[in-house]
Structure 1
Amino acid sequence: MRVVTGFRAPLAFTVVALLLLVAAPVMASQPTPWQLNFQDFVTPVGALVDDFHTLLLVVEFGIAIFVFLLLAYTCYRFRAASNPNPSKTTHNTVIEVLWTVIPVVILVIIAVPSFKLLYFMDKAENPDMTIKVTANQWYWDYEYPDQEGLTFSSTMLDAEDAKAAGDPRLLGVDNPLVVPVGQNIQVLVTSNDVMHSFFVPSLAVQIYGISGRANETWMRIDKAGTYYGQCNQICGVNHSFMPIKVIAMEEAEYAQWLLKAKQEFAMDNPSPELKLAAASQ
C-alpha cells in the first residue's frame, strides 16, 4: 500500500478538506454526516443569512490574522535577548484611541447588514397566503386560514413507518406542511402549552411559539422539494420527537393537494353545529 508522505501529505489533506467543504451543503433538505456548512437555502431570507455569515467570517478571520501577526511581532521585537532592560511604559494614548475606535467601526460595519436582515425577515409585505402553526407537547397543528380554515395535526412517525415513507429517522411525520413554490407566505406561530420553536434550517425559519401570543415570520420557497426541521426549544421529555416536514410544490400540484386535503381533513375540523350536536349526546 502506498503511503502519502512529505509534501504530498498536507496537499492531500487540503484537497480532502476542500472536497468536504464543497460537498457538505449539497443536500438541502436535511443535515448530512460531516457537514461543515449550512444546508442549502431556498428562500430570499436564507440568501441574506448566507451573505451575512460570509461577511462575518471575513471580518473574524481578518481580526484573528491581525492579532496573530501582532503577537508574533511583539514576541520577536521585545524578546529578552534584544531587551535586557524591559520597558516600563504604562500608557500610550494613540494605541488606546485606536483599540477603542477600530472595534467601534467594525461593529458599525457589521450592524448595517445585520439590521437590514432583521427587518427583512421580520414580516411579509402583502403576503399571498397565511399559515398558522400551533405547537403542542409534542406535535404540530397546521391551519390554512385562507382555505376555509383547513386544519390538521402533524406527529412523528416511528422508525419503521418513517423508513417505509422514505423519511430519515426522527424526521418523518404523518401529515407534512405543504406549501406552494414562489409565494410569499405569512407564518404565524403560537403554542397551546409550553414554549416551542418552529425551526426549518433550509428555509431560514426559526421562530418561537409562545402560549397566548402569535409570533410572525415569513418565507418564500423558490425550489420545490422536501425540507426537514425540528422543535428548537427544549419543551419537555419528548422534545426531540417534534419533527417538521415541509413539502414545497408547484402551483398545479399544490392545487390538487388542497382539494384532496380538504376532503381528507374535513372531519378533523367540523362545523360549530356538528360540535354542538356531538357535545349534546
Structure 2
Amino acid sequence: MCWWLWKRDISEPWQLGFQDAASPAMEEIILFHDEVMYILMIITVFVLWLIIRALTTRYYHKYLFEGVLIEVIWTLLPAGVLICIAFPSLKLLYLMDEVINPALTIKVVGHQWYWSYEYSDYGPETIEFDSYMIPTSELKKGDLRLLDVDNRLIVPIQTEVRVLVTGGDVLHAFAVPSLSVKIDAVPGRLNQTSFYLKRPGVFYGQCSEICGANHSFMPIVVEGVSLEKYIRWVEALK
C-alpha cells in the first residue's frame, strides 16, 4: 500500500469481507457475521452429505422419507439454531440503537448532491459547512477518486458522538461501513444514530440511497483525530 494511504480505511480490489472496524459496534457486527457463517458452513456440509447419502444408499433414503425420528430432529434442530442466532442478533440490534451520554452532537443534512454538517454544542456560534466531492480534475496525489471531499467530518476519538440526520430535498442515506453507521436522511424527519470512534484514521462512506442522477457522487469522509487536535480545529473555525 502506498505511504500516503496508511492511515486510511478503504476497500480493496476484490475484497470479500468487511472493512477494518473502527468502533465497538462494528467489531461486534463482524464477530456476529463470522459466527453465523461458521454455523452456515456446518449446516451446508451436513445437508449436502445427507442428500448424497440419501441418493446413493437405499437405507438412508428409506430412513429419511419414512422415519418419525428424523421428522422430529429436522424440526427441532433448525428451531434451536434459529434461537441461537436470534438472541445475539437482537442484543446487537438494541445495543446499536442505544445512545449513551453523547459528548458531541453533529447534525447531518443530505442535499442533491452533497452533505452539510452542523456542530451546535459550542454556544451561539454554530459551526456549519458543506462537503462536496473533489472533482477528478482537481485531485492531488494521494486523493481517492469519487471518495475524497473538500471538507471532512472531523470527530475526536474515544468520544461518544451522536449524529442527527435529515434530508434537505429527497431521501438520502448516511452510511460509513467502518463505523457501523447507516441511517436514512428523510426530509422533514430527524433520525438519530451514534458511534464511538476507537482509533484515529480516515473513514469513507457514501450515500446508499438512490437519490438522483448524481447519487454516486456524494461521498462521506470521517476523520478521527485526538481531542487536542479536534479542539484546535474547532477554535480555528470559530
Could you tell me the TM-score, scaled by structure 2's length? 0.91
Do residues 67 (structure 1) and 25 (structure 2) align?
A: no
1:98 CA drift (Å)? 2.0
Do residues 151 (structure 1) and 131 (structure 2) align?
A: no
Q: How does 1:87-236 map to 2 (within 5 A)?
A: 91-147=66-122, 148-161=125-138, 163-164=139-140, 166-236=142-212
Structure 1 stretch displaced more, 27-36 or 191-200: 27-36
List runs of 5+ in structure 1 lacking aligned partners: 1-25, 263-281
CA distance in 1, matches of 2:7, 2:68: 53
Q: Which letter does structure 2 place at the counterpart of 1:160?
A: S
1:30 CA drift (Å)? 1.2
1:36 CA drift (Å)? 2.2
The CA RMSD measured in Å over matched residues stands at 2.1
- Structure showing greater Rg: 1
Count of aligned residue pairs for this structure pair: 231
CA distance in 2, matches of 1:192, 1:47: 32
> In 2 relative to 1, CA 195–165 (structure 1 residues): closer, same or farther, beyond 3 Å?
farther
1:33 match: 13
1:87 CA drift (Å)? 5.9
> In 2 relative to 1, CA 246–77 (structure 1 residues): closer, same or farther, beyond 3 Å?
same
1:61 CA drift (Å)? 0.3
| SS of aligned partner of 2:97 | coil
Q: Give the % identical residues.
A: 42
CA distance in 2, matches of 1:51, 1:225: 22
List runs of 5+ in structure 2 lacking aligned partners: 1-5
1:239 match: 215
**Whose strand proportion is higher, 1 or 2?**
2
Higher RCO, 1 vs 2 (CA within 8 Å, ≥6 residues apart): 2
CA distance in 1, matches of 2:215, 2:22: 26
1:92 CA drift (Å)? 3.6
1:89 CA drift (Å)? 9.0
CA distance in 1, matches of 2:64, 2:219: 60
Could you tell me the TM-score, scaled by structure 1's length? 0.77
Structure 1 runs, 4 residues or longer, greater than 4 Å off = 86-91
